[in-house]
Amino acid sequence: MNIFKSFPQFVPQKVCLACQGCCRFSDKKSVWRPKITFEEIDETAWKNATLAKKLTAALDEKGYLSTTASQQVAVDGKPAHHCCGQLCEQSNECQIYADRPVECSIYPVLIVARGNKVVISLHLSCPFIQEYYGSEACDQYIEEVKAFFGSYEVQEFLNRNRHLAGDYSEYKDELAEIMTIDLKDDVKFDLLNRRLDVEQALKCTQHQQSGYAFNYLFSWHKFFKFEFKVISGFLCIFAHHELGCFMYLPPLGEGEPTENVINVCFNYMDSCNEDKSVSRIENVEAGQLGMFKEAQFKAIIKENEYVYAKKDIITLRGNMYKSKRADYNYFVTHNIFSYHPYDPSMKEECLALYDEWKKEKEEKSNDALYTYLLMENRDVHQLIFNEGAHVGIVGRVVKIDDKIRAYTFGYRLNETTFCVLFEITDLSVRGLAAYIFSRFCEDRALEPYTYINVMGDFGMENIKHAKESYRPQEIVQNYTVSRK
């Protein structure tokens, strides 16, 4: 993880290679197994999608990486110990050393859970620490560790990823406390710390709709207070706002939720809502409608989502894309431009571009719903500029004459599909929209994906027309289900 690349190292690598103290555990569910965060997995994914997939598959419900039984056999014939699944036992080397989890890169420093605090501690069982603890070199190392964990950026990371703090109470005699960090009581962090549960529940089934992603949920947290309940093993996400309570997604988990689970969800929403018609489940996919008994429920199409073959958008080949190709070519031949990864230092300029774009759209529209969406989306864009990177949302900008004139952001929906969350361009520049869309699809970060979902049309004709003009390969219907 980038911010941990500068973590001070004390134990020489050659000492570790000769030691068999780390990466092996007496119990396959040991508290000493390394944990990993989705932030780390996201960062890996942009460089090495295969590794990110492997790490996601190796995650257990508490964020630990799974272990394998050692090939060494004890006297009783059982494995001598359990190894981290990323360890090559023969060479004693970590196979993902350059991308190893934060927990591994800071060891023998530990992040210890203590109520609403974390205690940064030194593990005295490491033989190298045993030898040098109390020495000037070790004291100096401890000071460097303190300075590192004193930084705002690192403390924010800990607040976002509380599951990294382990319960080592059984081993308290082996720990030397270095410093204590108070965790913040904040709705944003509460939601971010739900990511592991949500991602694990989403992993059970592949979905095509853009809403089935933690990062999308996160992008709406300023508008809704999300509440999570586990009902008969299904993760149920309720969204509360001033008009009442609804379910953001159908219950998530292994297989289909039973009739009873659905009824418990509706009863809960009804208990929150004075107006029972507010009780509903959103983002229901066509394939899920069977879980709702026709006699009891009604389903309406909320909107369509548009999915393209990525290669079509990159090449813009053939008669179907003639006008898009002409726009693209016009743009690249008539402008001095550059394409860049988004950086938080660009947020003011991006927001100013959004305001320009919004003004122009408002002037051309007299649809009250559309104007409201433009206003609401401003807050979502601002949130993503500030926090998107923490939940795996990537952004790109196009500069013309060194000024940002377009931006786009998106996220991984599943193994084959990438979602474009939004795209804003200077409407006066011919071909800029076609260029940034096509260029983003060609981006290295999107290499693992075959399809691009550009989300819904809000049931609005102008958006529908714009999204259809890129010739979708598939249209995904997005239903809302309520009681009759």
The residue ranges that bind ligand SF4 (CB under 6 A) are 11, 15-16, 19, 21-23, 34, 84, 86-87, 94, 96, 100-101, 104, 107-108, 126-128
Buried b / exposed e over 121-136, threshold 16 CB at 10 Å, is: bbbeebebbeebbeee
Cβ closest to ligand SF4, residue 14 vs residue 484: 14
Cβ closest to ligand SF4, residue 84 vs residue 413: 84
CB atoms within 10 A of CB 286: 14
Beta strands (DSSP E) in 170-254 are: 175-182, 225-231, 234-241, 244-247
Cβ closest to ligand SF4, residue 34 vs residue 431: 34
Cβ closest to ligand SF4, residue 93 vs residue 156: 93
Torsional class of 152: left (φ above 0), alpha (ψ -120 to 50), beta (otherwise): alpha
CA distance linking residue 68 with residue 25, whole number of Å:
10
Minimum Å gap between C-beta 77 and ligand SF4 is: 25
Short-list 411, 417, 414, CA closest to 391:
411
Cβ closest to ligand SF4, residue 132 vs residue 220: 132
CA-CA-CA-CA torsion sign (213, 215, 219, 222): positive
CA distance linking residue 176 with residue 393, whole number of Å:
38
CA distance linking residue 335 with residue 401, whole number of Å:
8
Cβ closest to ligand SF4, residue 126 vs residue 433: 126
Name 458's Cβ contacts closer than 8 Å, sequence gap at least 6. Answer: 303, 369, 370, 373
Q: Cα angle vertex 308, ends 337, 451, to 5°? A: 90
CA distance linking residue 422 with residue 265, whole number of Å:
31
* Burial environment of residue 173 by CB neighbours within 10 A (0 to 12, 13 to 18, 19 or more): exposed
Minimum Å gap between C-beta 171 and ligand SF4 is: 14
* Beta bridge partner(s), residue 408: 396, 423
CB atoms within 10 A of CB 75: 6
CA distance linking residue 145 with residue 155, whole number of Å:
13
Minimum Å gap between C-beta 93 and ligand SF4 is: 8
Q: Strand 474-483 and strand 281-285: pairing?
A: antiparallel
Q: Cα angle vertex 30, ends 28, 33, to 5°? A: 95
Minimum Å gap between C-beta 102 and ligand SF4 is: 10
Minimum Å gap between C-beta 127 and ligand SF4 is: 5
Cβ closest to ligand SF4, residue 86 vs residue 209: 86
Cβ closest to ligand SF4, residue 36 vs residue 397: 36
Residue nearest to ligand SF4 (CB): 21
Cβ closest to ligand SF4, residue 92 vs residue 193: 92
Residue 409 in contact with residue 393, Cβ under 8 Å?
yes
Minimum Å gap between C-beta 23 and ligand SF4 is: 3
Minimum Å gap between C-beta 81 and ligand SF4 is: 13
Minimum Å gap between C-beta 126 and ligand SF4 is: 3
Residue 276 in contact with residue 483, Cβ under 8 Å?
yes
Cβ closest to ligand SF4, residue 84 vs residue 213: 84
Cβ closest to ligand SF4, residue 38 vs residue 437: 38
Cβ closest to ligand SF4, residue 86 vs residue 408: 86
Structure tokens at 74: 């004890």
Minimum Å gap between C-beta 59 and ligand SF4 is: 12
CA distance linking residue 434 with residue 328, whole number of Å:
5
Cβ closest to ligand SF4, residue 134 vs residue 290: 134
CA distance linking residue 361 with residue 422, whole number of Å:
15
Minimum Å gap between C-beta 396 and ligand SF4 is: 31
Minimum Å gap between C-beta 103 and ligand SF4 is: 7
Minimum Å gap between C-beta 85 and ligand SF4 is: 7
Residue 483 in contact with residue 449, Cβ under 8 Å?
no
Give the CB-side neighbour count of residue 333, counting CA atoms within 13 A: 6
Minimum Å gap between C-beta 177 and ligand SF4 is: 19
